[in-house]
Amino acid sequence: MTEIMYKDDITITPIDLSEIFKKSGIIRPFDDLDRLQQMLDHANVLVTAWDEERLVGVARGLTDFSYCCYLSDLAVDETYQEQGIGKELINRVQLLLNENVALILLSSPKAMDYYPKVGFEKIDNGYKIARTK
């Protein structure tokens, strides 16, 4: 197995993002490339994981770099899961922030057991207005 490389200084394409979403099993609009481009354009934290030239993981967040960061996407190719890549992506996001910044997220039901294992604390004081499309 090759060493996974992590990068926070490159841009990926909407096609790259679509492919990692499909390969990870995460539910995202992977067939809407315009929307994926907007998701990339408006994120201000992006950390990627690579096996040589192959994108195998992505963490995408939105932050003010002062108080909170919303980790909008954490996706790892299913064939690379359970190797610590997701945890390292989270660690790399935290390195881009500082100790004053809380990292928050909304979990898919199937990932609820994962996040406590990588340092997240469950909270019950959240609300949302759902997307209409």
Tokens 């209409």 sit on residue? 132
Q: Domain 5-117, what fold? A: Aminopeptidase (3.40.630)
What does the pLDDT profile of the chain (133 residues) look like in tens digits? Answer: 579 999 999 999 999 999 999 999 898 999 999 999 999 999 999 999 999 999 999 999 999 999 999 999 999 999 999 999 999 999 999 999 999 999 999 988 888 889 999 989 999 888 888 888 8
Here the tokens at position 107 are 């979990």
DSSP string, 70-122: EEEEEEE-GGGTTSSHHHHHHHHHHHHS-TTPEEE----GGGTTHHHHTT---
pLDDT of residue 110: 81
Per-residue pLDDT, 127: 86
Question: What confidence score (pLDDT) does residue 128 get?
Answer: 83
pLDDT of residue 50: 98
What is the reported pLDDT for 109? 82
**C-alpha neighbours within 13 Å on the C-beta side of residue 132:** 0
36 in helix, strand or coil? helix
Give the largest Cα separation in the chain, rounded.
Answer: 43
Residues 10 and 25: beta-carbon distance below 8 Å: no
Q: What is the pLDDT of residue 111?
A: 85
